[in-house]
Amino acid sequence: MLFQGLVGLSEAMYLWLVAAGLSLIFGVMRVLNFAHGSLYMLGAYFAWVAFRISGSFWVALVVGPLLVAAAGWVLEFGFLRLILDDAVKLAFGPVYQSPPTPAALSGAVRIGRSILPTYHLFILAVGGLVGLGLWFLLEKTSFGLIVRATAADREMARALGVRSSRLFTGVFVLGAWLAGLGGALSMPVRAISPGMGEFIIIEAFVVVVLGGLGSLRGAFLGAVLIGLLHAYGLLFMPVFELALAYMAMAAVLIVRPWGLFGVREA
């Protein structure tokens, strides 16, 4: 019972990473980045390439998302957009790739009568750490101050001397890195294929709308909520499982059209 929730939470962490970047970019730039699912896919592919070259999952985990961040930087300038899936198909072919799970993380721990993979614990830890890191970045650094100021009032921030174009690039690159990290983490446990971003992006949109556009806290809680609804939905209402996320989103939007933690538009 509790165990099912834990598994749901670990699935939610991928969603959180993708949704965090999506929400961050929206908060500052006021654009819904439709290429975000493709960045997640790129994260998996770049990590896979890095893995094939280095033979190390850890190198891949660092290098993959950094490359996606670099791609994000290029994307922000308007190149490449929307052709990523086709480019990946051309470069890597339509065949599924699935490098092995790193030995250090392919064990499992016993919880009661159930078995939880070490990899899932790892994902939970990474998701939590990224959450803490983002909180620190936004609340405790001058970069975060500027981000928050711009998100709150763009005109005012600009009037006060914030160079928005550089900020936008920085935020976009960070958002791309987060999606790339999600993709890189999925590399050894999910089949990698062109178009793998299509499905995660739909859920990430639900998460971001549910949590409130531009709110990282909202994205985190939204992802957790969707993950739990999915895991427990399968257990108790398998027929409606698919609808639960949308029902939750609709319910929240009726009461709070700006989402759980979003800011009401003036």
Partner 1 sequence: MAPRRGTTRRRFLQTSALAVAGLGLPRAVAAAALDLKLKKPIKIGCQSILSGPLGGYGEFMRKGAALAMDEINAQGGIGGSPIELNFRDEELKVDVGVKNARYFVEDWGADFLIGIDSSAVALAVGEIMPSLNRVLIVTHGATEKFNEDLVFKRHVRQCFRVCVPVYQDGIASALVAKDLPVKRWATISPDYEYGHTSWKMFRAYLKRFKPDVEFVGESFAKFGTVDFSSHISKVMGLNPEGIFSTEWGGEAVTMVKQAKLFKVFEQTKAFMIGMGSAMDVLQGLGADYPDGVWASGRYYFGYPDSPENKRFNDAFKKRWNTYPSYPSETAYTALFALKKAVEKARSIETEKVIAALEGLELDRPAGKCVIRKEDHQAVYAVPWGQIKHDAKFPMPTLANLKVFPTDEYYRKPPFAPVEG
* CB distance 84 to 43 below 8 Å: no
Which two tokens mark 255? 């009461």
Number of residues that bind partner 1 (CB under 8 A): 43
As a whole number of angstroms, the distance between CA 138 and CA 121 comes to 26
Least distance in Å: CB of 191 to partner 1? 4
Could you say which of 101, 148, 169, 217 contacts partner 1 (CB under 8 A)? Answer: 101
Amino acid present at 90: L
Place of tokens 């939007």: 253
For 251, residues 6+ apart whose C-beta sits below 8 A from its C-beta are none
Identify the DSSP state of 192: B
Q: Which of 87, 195, 248, 256 binds partner 1 (CB under 8 A)?
A: 195
In angstroms, what is the minimal distance from the CB of 94 to partner 1?
Answer: 4
Task: Give dist(CA 162, CA 174) in Å, integer.
Answer: 18
Task: Tell me which residues in 114-153 interact with partner 1 (CB under 8 A).
Answer: 114-117, 119-120
Stretch binding partner 1 (CB under 8 A), from 57-65, 139-147, 183-191, 250-258: 183-191
Q: Which of 148, 154, 158, 190 binds partner 1 (CB under 8 A)?
A: 190
Q: Is 107 helix (H, G, I), strand (E, B) or coil?
A: coil
Binding site for partner 1 (CB under 8 A): 3-4, 7-8, 10-11, 14, 85, 89, 94-98, 100-101, 106, 108, 114-117, 119-120, 186, 188-191, 193-196, 198-200, 230-231, 234-235, 238, 241-242
